[in-house]
Amino acid sequence: MKKIKGKVLSIAGSDSAGGAGIQADIKTITAMGAYASTAITAITAQNTLGVQEILELPINIIKNQIRAVLSDIGTDAIKIGMLSNKEIISCVTNELKTISVNTPIVLDPVMVAKGGRKLLQEDAEKRLISDLFPISKLLTPNIPEAEKISKIKINSTSDLLTAGKKIINMGIKNVLMKGGHLDGNKLVDILVTKDKIQYFENTRIHTNHTHGTGCTLSSSIASGLAQKLSLSDSIERAHTYVYQAIKYAPEIGRGKGPLNHLVGLNINKIYD
Protein backbone atom coordinates (compact mmCIF):
# COMPACT_ATOMS: atom_id res chain seq x y z
CA MET A 1 0.00 0.00 0.00
CA LYS A 2 1.49 3.32 -1.08
CA LYS A 3 1.61 6.02 1.56
CA ILE A 4 0.23 9.47 0.66
CA LYS A 5 2.92 12.14 0.86
CA GLY A 6 2.08 15.85 0.79
CA LYS A 7 -1.21 17.76 0.57
CA VAL A 8 -2.17 20.09 -2.29
CA LEU A 9 -5.09 22.53 -2.36
CA SER A 10 -6.30 23.28 -5.88
CA ILE A 11 -8.23 26.52 -6.36
CA ALA A 12 -9.66 26.37 -9.87
CA GLY A 13 -12.68 25.90 -12.11
CA SER A 14 -14.56 22.68 -12.77
CA ASP A 15 -14.37 21.03 -16.21
CA SER A 16 -17.39 18.84 -16.95
CA ALA A 17 -15.34 16.92 -19.53
CA GLY A 18 -12.86 15.90 -16.82
CA GLY A 19 -9.73 16.80 -18.76
CA ALA A 20 -8.75 20.13 -17.22
CA GLY A 21 -9.38 22.28 -14.16
CA ILE A 22 -10.24 20.75 -10.80
CA GLN A 23 -10.81 17.30 -12.30
CA ALA A 24 -7.37 17.20 -13.93
CA ASP A 25 -5.79 18.54 -10.75
CA ILE A 26 -7.31 15.85 -8.54
CA LYS A 27 -6.21 13.10 -10.92
CA THR A 28 -2.71 14.52 -11.25
CA ILE A 29 -2.13 15.17 -7.55
CA THR A 30 -3.32 11.64 -6.79
CA ALA A 31 -1.06 10.16 -9.48
CA MET A 32 1.86 12.05 -7.92
CA GLY A 33 1.16 10.32 -4.60
CA ALA A 34 -0.18 13.40 -2.78
CA TYR A 35 -3.57 14.25 -1.28
CA ALA A 36 -5.86 16.63 -3.20
CA SER A 37 -8.32 19.10 -1.69
CA THR A 38 -10.22 21.72 -3.68
CA ALA A 39 -11.91 25.10 -3.77
CA ILE A 40 -14.01 25.45 -6.92
CA THR A 41 -14.22 28.97 -8.37
CA ALA A 42 -16.47 28.34 -11.37
CA ILE A 43 -18.46 25.59 -13.04
CA THR A 44 -18.05 25.17 -16.77
CA ALA A 45 -20.14 23.22 -19.25
CA GLN A 46 -17.57 21.97 -21.74
CA ASN A 47 -16.34 19.03 -23.73
CA THR A 48 -13.46 18.36 -26.11
CA LEU A 49 -15.06 20.69 -28.67
CA GLY A 50 -15.03 23.75 -26.40
CA VAL A 51 -16.62 25.67 -23.52
CA GLN A 52 -20.37 26.21 -23.82
CA GLU A 53 -21.17 27.98 -20.55
CA ILE A 54 -19.51 29.34 -17.39
CA LEU A 55 -21.05 29.91 -13.99
CA GLU A 56 -18.86 31.81 -11.53
CA LEU A 57 -19.53 30.74 -7.96
CA PRO A 58 -20.50 33.28 -5.27
CA ILE A 59 -17.54 34.83 -3.45
CA ASN A 60 -18.79 33.59 -0.09
CA ILE A 61 -18.80 29.97 -1.30
CA ILE A 62 -15.25 30.27 -2.67
CA LYS A 63 -14.04 31.89 0.57
CA ASN A 64 -15.64 29.25 2.77
CA GLN A 65 -14.26 26.36 0.72
CA ILE A 66 -10.73 27.69 1.24
CA ARG A 67 -11.34 28.32 4.94
CA ALA A 68 -12.86 24.88 5.46
CA VAL A 69 -9.82 23.15 3.96
CA LEU A 70 -7.14 25.29 5.61
CA SER A 71 -8.74 25.26 9.07
CA ASP A 72 -8.88 21.46 9.23
CA ILE A 73 -6.89 19.56 6.62
CA GLY A 74 -4.28 22.20 5.89
CA THR A 75 -2.02 22.09 2.86
CA ASP A 76 1.65 21.79 1.90
CA ALA A 77 1.26 23.56 -1.44
CA ILE A 78 -1.40 25.41 -3.42
CA LYS A 79 -2.18 25.36 -7.13
CA ILE A 80 -4.27 28.23 -8.50
CA GLY A 81 -6.02 27.98 -11.86
CA MET A 82 -9.12 29.67 -13.27
CA LEU A 83 -10.18 32.75 -11.26
CA SER A 84 -12.43 34.51 -13.83
CA ASN A 85 -12.76 38.01 -12.37
CA LYS A 86 -11.12 40.55 -10.05
CA GLU A 87 -13.53 39.88 -7.19
CA ILE A 88 -12.55 36.20 -7.10
CA ILE A 89 -8.87 37.16 -7.33
CA SER A 90 -9.24 39.51 -4.35
CA CYS A 91 -11.09 36.83 -2.37
CA VAL A 92 -8.43 34.18 -3.00
CA THR A 93 -5.61 36.63 -2.23
CA ASN A 94 -7.17 37.66 1.08
CA GLU A 95 -7.74 34.07 2.18
CA LEU A 96 -4.21 33.00 1.31
CA LYS A 97 -2.72 35.73 3.47
CA THR A 98 -3.45 33.44 6.42
CA ILE A 99 -1.16 30.62 5.21
CA SER A 100 2.49 30.23 6.11
CA VAL A 101 4.91 32.17 3.92
CA ASN A 102 6.68 28.84 3.42
CA THR A 103 3.65 27.30 1.68
CA PRO A 104 4.47 27.40 -2.06
CA ILE A 105 1.83 28.67 -4.49
CA VAL A 106 1.90 27.63 -8.16
CA LEU A 107 -0.11 30.12 -10.23
CA ASP A 108 -1.36 28.94 -13.62
CA PRO A 109 -2.75 32.16 -15.17
CA VAL A 110 -5.73 30.62 -16.97
CA MET A 111 -6.93 33.24 -19.46
CA VAL A 112 -8.25 31.52 -22.57
CA ALA A 113 -9.56 27.98 -23.17
CA LYS A 114 -8.04 25.92 -25.99
CA GLY A 115 -11.20 26.51 -27.99
CA GLY A 116 -10.78 30.28 -27.69
CA ARG A 117 -13.30 31.07 -24.94
CA LYS A 118 -12.06 33.78 -22.53
CA LEU A 119 -11.72 32.50 -18.97
CA LEU A 120 -10.37 35.67 -17.35
CA GLN A 121 -12.07 39.04 -17.72
CA GLU A 122 -9.94 41.84 -19.22
CA ASP A 123 -10.14 44.06 -16.13
CA ALA A 124 -8.92 41.20 -13.93
CA GLU A 125 -5.48 40.83 -15.53
CA LYS A 126 -3.93 43.75 -13.63
CA ARG A 127 -5.39 42.45 -10.38
CA LEU A 128 -3.88 39.02 -11.04
CA ILE A 129 -0.45 40.63 -11.42
CA SER A 130 -0.71 43.06 -8.50
CA ASP A 131 -2.32 40.67 -5.98
CA LEU A 132 -1.11 37.15 -6.73
CA PHE A 133 2.32 37.58 -8.32
CA PRO A 134 3.98 38.76 -5.08
CA ILE A 135 2.76 35.76 -3.02
CA SER A 136 3.29 33.03 -5.62
CA LYS A 137 6.42 30.89 -5.90
CA LEU A 138 5.93 30.00 -9.57
CA LEU A 139 3.97 31.29 -12.56
CA THR A 140 3.30 28.85 -15.45
CA PRO A 141 2.00 30.79 -18.48
CA ASN A 142 1.61 29.33 -21.96
CA ILE A 143 2.59 31.56 -24.88
CA PRO A 144 -0.76 33.36 -25.38
CA GLU A 145 -0.87 34.08 -21.64
CA ALA A 146 2.79 35.16 -21.55
CA GLU A 147 2.17 37.52 -24.49
CA LYS A 148 -0.74 39.18 -22.68
CA ILE A 149 1.22 39.54 -19.46
CA SER A 150 4.53 40.70 -20.97
CA LYS A 151 3.14 42.58 -24.01
CA ILE A 152 5.84 40.83 -26.07
CA LYS A 153 5.08 38.84 -29.23
CA ILE A 154 6.63 35.37 -28.88
CA ASN A 155 7.71 33.60 -32.07
CA SER A 156 10.84 31.81 -30.90
CA THR A 157 12.65 30.38 -27.88
CA SER A 158 14.64 33.61 -27.74
CA ASP A 159 11.40 35.61 -27.50
CA LEU A 160 10.20 33.23 -24.81
CA LEU A 161 13.27 34.01 -22.71
CA THR A 162 12.95 37.76 -23.28
CA ALA A 163 9.32 37.70 -22.17
CA GLY A 164 10.23 35.58 -19.15
CA LYS A 165 12.82 38.10 -18.01
CA LYS A 166 10.26 40.89 -18.32
CA ILE A 167 7.68 38.93 -16.31
CA ILE A 168 10.24 38.30 -13.54
CA ASN A 169 10.60 42.07 -13.21
CA MET A 170 6.83 42.32 -12.62
CA GLY A 171 7.10 40.81 -9.13
CA ILE A 172 6.93 37.03 -9.56
CA LYS A 173 9.70 34.96 -7.95
CA ASN A 174 9.99 32.31 -10.68
CA VAL A 175 8.32 31.81 -14.05
CA LEU A 176 8.17 28.67 -16.18
CA MET A 177 7.77 29.87 -19.75
CA LYS A 178 6.02 27.08 -21.65
CA GLY A 179 6.92 26.73 -25.32
CA GLY A 180 4.19 24.34 -26.38
CA HIS A 181 2.66 26.78 -28.88
CA LEU A 182 5.91 27.20 -30.84
CA ASP A 183 6.58 25.20 -34.00
CA GLY A 184 9.15 22.44 -34.33
CA ASN A 185 9.78 18.88 -33.21
CA LYS A 186 11.39 19.90 -29.93
CA LEU A 187 9.38 21.28 -27.02
CA VAL A 188 11.29 23.75 -24.86
CA ASP A 189 10.17 25.26 -21.56
CA ILE A 190 12.33 27.78 -19.73
CA LEU A 191 12.50 28.36 -15.99
CA VAL A 192 13.47 31.98 -15.40
CA THR A 193 14.44 33.22 -11.95
CA LYS A 194 16.23 36.30 -10.63
CA ASP A 195 19.61 34.60 -10.81
CA LYS A 196 19.41 31.67 -13.24
CA ILE A 197 17.86 30.22 -16.38
CA GLN A 198 17.12 26.52 -16.84
CA TYR A 199 15.86 24.75 -19.95
CA PHE A 200 13.56 21.72 -19.96
CA GLU A 201 13.41 19.95 -23.31
CA ASN A 202 11.49 17.03 -24.74
CA THR A 203 10.45 15.62 -28.09
CA ARG A 204 7.16 17.09 -29.23
CA ILE A 205 4.28 14.65 -29.61
CA HIS A 206 2.12 15.71 -32.55
CA THR A 207 -1.39 15.02 -31.32
CA ASN A 208 -4.76 16.66 -30.83
CA HIS A 209 -5.10 15.19 -27.34
CA THR A 210 -3.60 17.93 -25.18
CA HIS A 211 -6.62 19.28 -23.30
CA GLY A 212 -5.66 20.13 -19.73
CA THR A 213 -1.90 20.05 -20.27
CA GLY A 214 -1.33 23.31 -18.39
CA CYS A 215 -3.49 22.29 -15.43
CA THR A 216 -1.77 18.92 -15.27
CA LEU A 217 1.73 20.38 -15.40
CA SER A 218 1.09 23.03 -12.74
CA SER A 219 -0.66 20.67 -10.30
CA SER A 220 2.11 18.12 -10.79
CA ILE A 221 4.71 20.77 -9.95
CA ALA A 222 2.68 21.80 -6.89
CA SER A 223 2.64 18.15 -5.80
CA GLY A 224 6.42 17.99 -6.01
CA LEU A 225 6.78 21.14 -3.92
CA ALA A 226 4.34 19.72 -1.35
CA GLN A 227 6.58 16.66 -1.17
CA LYS A 228 9.61 18.89 -0.50
CA LEU A 229 11.24 18.41 -3.89
CA SER A 230 13.22 21.34 -5.20
CA LEU A 231 11.56 23.55 -7.78
CA SER A 232 13.83 22.15 -10.50
CA ASP A 233 13.13 18.52 -9.56
CA SER A 234 9.38 19.23 -9.31
CA ILE A 235 9.39 20.63 -12.85
CA GLU A 236 11.56 17.80 -14.19
CA ARG A 237 9.24 15.16 -12.76
CA ALA A 238 6.16 17.03 -14.00
CA HIS A 239 7.63 17.16 -17.52
CA THR A 240 8.16 13.41 -17.52
CA TYR A 241 4.64 12.80 -16.26
CA VAL A 242 2.94 15.13 -18.77
CA TYR A 243 4.96 13.68 -21.66
CA GLN A 244 3.80 10.17 -20.77
CA ALA A 245 0.22 11.36 -20.18
CA ILE A 246 0.13 12.88 -23.68
CA LYS A 247 1.89 9.90 -25.28
CA TYR A 248 -0.69 7.49 -23.90
CA ALA A 249 -3.73 9.78 -24.19
CA PRO A 250 -6.98 7.76 -24.32
CA GLU A 251 -8.25 9.46 -27.53
CA ILE A 252 -11.55 10.49 -25.98
CA GLY A 253 -13.92 12.92 -27.70
CA ARG A 254 -14.18 14.46 -31.17
CA GLY A 255 -12.06 17.53 -30.44
CA LYS A 256 -9.06 18.34 -28.24
CA GLY A 257 -9.02 15.24 -26.06
CA PRO A 258 -7.73 14.81 -22.49
CA LEU A 259 -4.49 13.28 -21.26
CA ASN A 260 -4.05 9.93 -19.57
CA HIS A 261 -3.54 10.92 -15.94
CA LEU A 262 -3.16 7.28 -14.91
CA VAL A 263 0.14 6.66 -16.69
CA GLY A 264 2.63 4.75 -14.59
CA LEU A 265 5.52 6.72 -13.14
CA ASN A 266 7.98 5.63 -10.49
CA ILE A 267 7.88 8.85 -8.49
CA ASN A 268 9.59 7.20 -5.53
CA LYS A 269 12.95 7.47 -7.29
CA ILE A 270 13.18 11.17 -6.58
CA TYR A 271 11.65 11.81 -3.18
CA ASP A 272 11.76 8.59 -1.17
Cα–Cα nearest to 24, from 220, 231, 270: 220
- Host H or E run for residue 148: helix 143-150
Pairing of strands 105-107, 50-56: unpaired
Q: What are the C-alpha distances in Å from 125 to residues 59, 90, 246?
A: 18, 12, 30
d(CA 87, CA 109): 15
Q: Determine the Cα angle at 212 with ends 162 and 224, to 5°.
A: 75
Amino acid at 90: S
List, by residue number, the catalytic residues. Answer: 178, 210, 212-215
For residue 72, the cross-strand partners are none
Residue 13's Cβ-side half-sphere holds a number of Cα atoms within 13 Å equal to: 30
d(CA 9, CA 75): 6
